[in-house]
Structure 1
Amino acid sequence: MTTSGRSILALAELAVALVLAALVVFGISGAAPWSSTTLPGQATPLWEGIPGPDGGTVCPLDKRYADEPPTGLRPDVGEAFSRLRAAANSQGTTLCLMDGKRSMAQQQREFDDAVQRFGTRELAAKYVLPPEKSNHVKGIAVDIQPIAASTWVERNGRALGWCRRYENETWHFEYDPGYVTAGCPPLLPSATGS
């Protein structure tokens, strides 16, 4: 490749990196087009198409898990997760975000894998919901690992709007600012409610 060809390739890579960085900054700041702030006469943003990360760094506490960045979560949920992580850290607990935001395609892959593993859609749905029912797709759910960290969130998260939702998933938490005053809803046996 010629020097000018390498320069053009380097500029193209830089342009892609800048666009990706801008998307992350806009997503964190809430200034992106998918921001939860709506204007009169405009459609509500659709979170279902926004992908989350497909992985992250290795969880320093348990190498079986990832610690993905909280990108793609709704801006208010991302901010709430940052507050949750900071509160945990201040009490000596490290949270690893095993799973947060998923797009519909990511959730469909997770669901298909669960169907393969459990043999039926009904059994799979006890652990992984189809995309149209998943709060990971809506950008309001996170899976916390390791179990010691999720135990901390279960004991302390309600004060910050985070509640565990399913008896069979000690790691799955959902955000709703109303949980702070109303308390956590009763645990469901599983994601299917049974």
Structure 2
Amino acid sequence: MYRWLAPLLLILTTACGPLQADAVGEADGLVAGHISPFDTSSPAITNLDPALLRAVRQAARDAAADGVELFLTTAWRSERYQRKLYEEAITKYGSEREARRYVSTPDSSRHVTGDAVDVGPTDADDWLNRHGSAYGLCQTYANEMWHFELATTPGGECPPMRADASARR
């Protein structure tokens, strides 16, 4: 009945390249644009470390009280999604060494373990850089003002930032 489908798929695959079996979606933690840290349905949020999620939510409440909207541009990611980002970075930057400055490998990414979030917009990054240690949240990479992890106890002092993601192994 569908004998015409196989030749059509062959034509499409030849013209457009292989079908994207490795495409990532919401189940992998993909966030379209940004997401509220209070979302209760997205795996990007629900797979975060509970202590990190509590800290981010409290920071978002307090930022809102100061007139600053804090949202997440990415949070937890599957290994598959992280691998895709890493491979894209190798293509973009021309080498694994250079790519690691901006994107961690799947086995070293704090996003894969649910221990990191990327915050937006820029005024929220700035607010969290000034107030984050009160929640234990610290910017961990000097070249990523949006990347935060629980890196101290609430009210503690944030450790010195690493130059970039390649410094974490």
TM over 0.5: yes
- Counterpart in the other structure of 2:166: 192
Taking structure 2 as the reference length, the TM-score comes to 0.74
Contact 1:52 1:71 (8 Å CA) reproduced: no
- Counterpart in the other structure of 1:104: 79
Matches within 5 A, 1:65-104: 65-67=33-35, 69=39, 70-104=45-79
- Counterpart in the other structure of 1:165: 140
Of 153, 162, 168, which aligns to 1:179? 153
Point out which structure has higher relative CO (alpha carbons under 8 A, 6+ apart): 2
Of 95, 119, 134, which aligns to 1:120? 95
Contact 1:167 1:190 (8 Å CA) reproduced: yes
Asked if 1:131 corresponds to 2:106, the answer is yes
- Counterpart in the other structure of 1:31: none
Amino acid corresponding to residue 143 of structure 1 in structure 2:
D
Contact 1:77 1:140 (8 Å CA) reproduced: yes
Instruction: Name stretches of at least 5 consecutive residues in structure 1 with no aligned partner.
Output: 1-50, 57-64
- Counterpart in the other structure of 1:53: 29
Q: What secondary structure, in the 3-state scheme, does the structure 1 residue paired with 2:167 have?
A: coil
Distance 1:74 1:52 in 2: 16
Contact 1:166 1:187 (8 Å CA) reproduced: yes
Deviations 1:68-112 (A, max 9, x none): 642210222222221111111111110120010011111111111
Q: As a proportion of its length, which structure holds more strand?
A: 1
CA RMSD of aligned residues (A): 1.8
Asked if 1:153 corresponds to 2:128, the answer is yes
Q: What secondary structure, in the 3-state scheme, does the structure 1 residue paired with 2:52 have?
A: helix
Deviations 1:134-180 (A, max 9, x none): 1111111010112111011000011001000111111111014x332
Amino acid corresponding to residue 187 of structure 1 in structure 2:
M
Distance 2:113 2:153 in 1: 18
Instruction: Name stretches of at least 5 consecutive residues in structure 2 with no aligned partner.
Output: 1-26, 40-44
Contact 1:164 1:172 (8 Å CA) reproduced: yes
CA shift, 1:67, in A, is: 2.4
Taking structure 1 as the reference length, the TM-score comes to 0.65
Distance 2:111 2:100 in 1: 14
Distance 2:156 2:28 in 1: 29
Percent same amino acid at aligned positions? 32
